[in-house]
Amino acid sequence: MQTDTLFEAEPQPESRTGENRFIGLAADQVSEGDAPAVMAELARLIERFNREYYEFDAPSVPDAEYDRLFELLRSLEARFPHLKREDSPTSRVGGAPREGFRKVRHSVPMLSIHTETDFSAEGARAFDARIRRDLGLEETDPPVSYDCELKFDGLATSLRYEKGRLVSAATRGDGLVGEDVTENVRTIRTIPLSLEGAPDVLEVRGEVIMHKADFEALNRRQAEAGEKPFANPRNAAAGSLRQLDSRITAKRRLHFYAYSLGECSESLAATQSGVLERLRGLGFPVADLHRTVQGPEALAAFHEEAARKRASLPFEIDGVVYKVDDLALEARLGFIAREPRWACAHKYPPEEAVTILEGIDVQVGRTGRLTPVARLRPVYVGGVTVSNATLHNEDRIAELDLAIGDAVVVRRAGDVIPEVLRALPERRAPNALRFKMPQACPVCGSAVVRDEEEKDLRCTGGLFCPAQMKLSILHFASRRAMGIDGLGEKIVDMLVDEGLVKTPADLFSLDFEALTAPTAASAESGKPVRRMGLKTAENLLASLERAKETTLARFLFALGCRHVGEVTALSLAQHFRSLEAIEAADQSALLEVSDVGEVIASSIEAFFKEPHNRSVIEALLAAGIHWPTPSAPAASSDAGVAGKTFVLTGTLPTLTRDEAKDRIIAAGGKVSGSVSRRTNYVVAGAEAGSKLAKAEALGVAVIDEAELLAMLEG
């Protein structure tokens, strides 16, 4: 098999360019003839990623992508050992130090540790089985004792103390030679500058990290200063520690957590857990969450415990670390190539991964919002296989500079909805396609308008669009809108799902036979089940008939035009006094209405210009919905209602609470739900409660329904 055919085997060869061709590739898919070219390309990529990660603190791919390519190369080398190159990146750690820092040779190499690729409990069992095999233990021998620690996501650093004083600090670098960051490390407050009771020579290894809260604060400051934010706490910590100007480092809050030793002139303890306790005693921060356990099941239990606590930790981790606790056994196990035999990293499912953007679909939500959704080549991330991810809105697509066919970084942390973090434009195919949001709703074909406040596109066909229909009907029927009793969520679901109602106007065409018709037979009795009970159907039809007599303000509110609430609907009704005048009004006319600004005016104009909405409104009027002509707003006077605040309490003789509220608002008054010194009148009916008592205590005027009606009339 030729390399070209290997890489072009997928359905979309144009997107399998450069690094993309390795997505989904397994070692057993590569023949011996293809292997040299594949291994050489993998080595080149890994070396590039090493430089980006270790030298420039600007990785272009997530850790999980690097680990996957590294594991692919190592698997190929295991399968074809005669093809392994002496300079393979699997034989060394990280990248060379960058120019600008003095180079420091580590007296004891800072090697990385093996990563278990199985995220489940099997990863812990595999490590224990390997340790027992390498130690020559039988099944009857006691379990091995391990020290379990957190795997920090920061920058590995070595601190050297001589006679109790910090003399140097260096990054890992390539494991043999690192970068001198002593002056920057001295600015980290959690690192002791001097020690008491320490050996003459002591090298403490650990991680420099940035806590989540400090990372968020730093990015806020970056944004305020017009500077580029950091991608994650690890990048922020690495970038801060490796500043050529230590004054910049001092302004950024970094932390250090100790976890191992380098050169040491005398033994600190006989166990790894003892070393950590001795380091803590010397004044070094050590993560509180670490355990000494025995056997593989206890390792797996620690892995699960840390996963549960991960979100609440103040810093980022991407896994846990298992180490043989007995240092004598560690020495006996020794090293292999670039890794110690006695330790391993047991990671969690990657929260970031690289895949291909195969398309962008547009979904219409219940409120009419158009949301672009990335259609992805399936990828395992955050513990699940992800094939779709939100793109939020068209501004986000432009910000990401996305094109169909791009390699993209996808993130899913915990239960968070997957999202596309960034594109990798250097991998872009020449024939990649740009995406444009539709100008008409993909569900109903209505016009689409942009909401400048929320930066969204929205369908204007709120009374017609099937995607919005259930929410539109529930709002239309609500108590403060048309007040249709009996139209709860389950009934609306049934009416829409069975095709009885497609717009609010269809509600008034419902009949008794359709509502009570039998549907599928019951699984229990085998008898047909009615859509609705006989009495329930009668009550609903009666409520629909009563709802035909309403007010213009209620009708306007019921239509569900975006940004038009009860108060705005009342202002529109009082100002224009007819539906025809509102439908014909342009933005300049609408802006003459109190409570109407540019955003609301634009929304109203777009709503009534949409032919689908006007057709539904005509059908509603044809069904018999009517209202009296609204009166103009009443002039304010001492005796009238206009400008006064009322509170309703108890049961009134002839008016419902809603009717009383509507009449007060129509006359220019306000209705509040609580009594205060600003309340002008409390309207009290039968069984008035605490509001009446509070009014009397505050000296607020208390009137009955008759007095209210007299005020409304005069």
Dump pLDDT digits (tens) for 126-172.
999 999 999 999 989 999 999 999 999 899 999 999 999 999 999 99
Answer whether residue 11 shows pLDDT above 50: no
The domain that contains 87 carries what CATH number? 1.10.287.610
Q: Quick one: 281 and 407 in the same domain?
A: no
pLDDT tens-place string over residues 555-584: 999 999 988 988 789 889 989 999 999 999
Instruction: Judge whether 442 lies within some domain.
Output: no
Q: Is 258 helix (H, G, I), strand (E, B) or coil?
A: strand
- Whether residue 411 sits in one domain with residue 539: no
Report how far residue 464's alpha carbon sits from residue 477's, in angstroms, rounded to the nearest whole number. 16
- Average pLDDT across the chain, whole number: 87
Active site residues: 151
Q: Is 37 a member of any domain?
A: yes
CA dist., res. 666 & res. 712, Å (int): 9
Same domain, 253 and 341: yes
The Cα diameter of the chain in Å comes to 103
Q: Report residue 84 as tokens.
A: 């392994």
Domain boundary among 314, 347, 380: 347
**What total of structural domains would you count in the chain?**
5
Report yes or no: 107 and 263 within 8 Å, Cβ to Cβ: yes
Handedness of CA 232, 235, 237, 243 (dihedral sign): negative
CATH of the domain at 658: 3.40.50.10190
631 occurs within a structural domain: no
Structure tokens at 295: 């056997």
* Residues of the domain holding 518: 466-622
Question: What's the half-sphere exposure (Cβ side, CA atoms, 13 Å) at 342?
Answer: 20
Higher-pLDDT residue of 615, 58: 615
User: Residues 177-203: what's their mean pLDDT?
Assistant: 91
State the pLDDT at residue 591: 93
| Nearest-angstrom CA–CA distance, 153 and 230 | 14
Greater confidence (450 vs 527) lies with: 450
Q: What element of type H or E holds 553?
A: helix 552-558
Output the pLDDT for position 523: 46
CA 94, 98, 102, 103 dihedral sign is positive
Same domain, 322 and 357: no
Q: Which two tokens stand for residue 530?
A: 């009615």
The radius of gyration of the chain's CA atoms, rounded to the nearest angstrom, is: 35
Task: Please tell me whether residues 259 and 127 are part of one structural domain.
Answer: yes
Last residue of a domain, one of 622, 654, 688: 622
- What pLDDT is attached to residue 389? 92
506-515, pLDDT tens digit by residue? 999 999 999 9
Both 337 and 357 in a single domain? no
Between the CA of residue 193 and those of 160, 169, 197, 512, what are the distances in Å? Answer: 10, 11, 14, 85
Q: Are 498 and 357 found together in one domain?
A: no
For the ranges 163-167, 274-278, 364-368, 372-376, the lowest mean pLDDT is seen at: 364-368
Is the pLDDT at 1 greater than 50, yes or no?
no
For residues 504 and 616, state if they share a domain: yes
How many residues are recorded in the chain?
Answer: 714
Flag whether 176 is in a domain. yes
pLDDT for 263: 95
Range of weakest confidence among 211-225, 601-615, 628-642, 659-673: 628-642
**Would residue 385 count as lying in a domain?**
yes
**286-302 pLDDT tens trace:** 999 999 999 999 999 99
Task: With beta carbons less than 8 A apart as the criterion, state whether 190 and 315 touch.
Answer: no
pLDDT-derived band at 616 (thresholds 50, 70, 90) equals very high
pLDDT tens for each residue of 389-413: 989 888 999 999 999 999 999 988 6
End-of-domain residue from the set 427, 457, 479: 427
Domain assignment present for residue 244? The answer is yes
Give me the half-sphere count of Cα atoms (radius 13 Å) on the Cβ side of residue 67. 20
Separation CA 659–CA 665 (nearest Å): 10
CATH number of the domain that residue 576 is part of: 1.10.150.20
**H-assigned helices in 51-112:** 63-79
On whether residue 636 sits in a domain, the answer given is no
Cβ contact 154:318 at 8 Å = no
**Does residue 60 sit in the same domain as residue 132?**
no
Which of 410, 427, 352, 382 has the alpha carbon at shortest distance from 48? 427
Does the structure show a pLDDT above 90 at 349? Answer: no
In this predicted model, what pLDDT tens digit does every residue of 90-138 receive, in sequence order? 766 555 555 678 899 999 999 888 888 788 899 999 999 999 999 999 9
Rounded CA separation 567/554 (Å): 10
The reply to whether 603 and 667 lie within a common domain is no
Looking up residue 404, the CATH number of its domain turns out to be: 2.40.50.140
Answer yes or no: is 171 within a domain: yes
Asked if 241 and 300 sit in the same domain, the reply is: yes
* Cα–Cα distance list, 561 to 368, 548, 625, 666 (Å): 11, 20, 18, 20
410 and 362 part of one domain: yes
Closest to 622 measured CA to CA, from 508, 543, 512: 508
